[in-house]
Amino acid sequence: MPTITGFATPVGCALINGGVAGEHKVPGNLKPGDALLSVEHISAGSPPTRVDRTAEFIVSATKAGVVSNVAGTNTTGGWLHVTWAKAE
């Protein structure tokens, strides 16, 4: 997992398909206890647009590789850019 120079905590990110509210699988090494840094909803367009949805998502407390949309927002047809910091 890459680190940011001068930042001792490993970070990860993934671009996944959006979808209906609920659980979203995230490839990478996301695990319960990791800190969610951001979730951006990206919609196609010219130019593409992004909306910060971080407050609407949580890292699953019981499943690895999962974030949950707890606000009920439907992001179908777009993408989610998920960034997290590893718990160590």
Over the stretch 37-82, which tens digit does the pLDDT of each residue have? 999 999 999 999 999 999 999 999 999 999 999 999 999 999 999 9
Nearest to 53 by CA among 28, 80, 29, 19: 80
At residue 6, the pLDDT reads: 66
**pTM > 0.85:** yes
The structural domains of the chain, with segments of one domain joined by +, span 11-85
pLDDT value at 1 more than 90: no
**In sequence order, which residues have a C-beta less than 8 Å from that of residue 37 and are 6 or more positions away?**
11, 54, 83, 84, 85
pLDDT value at 27 more than 90: yes
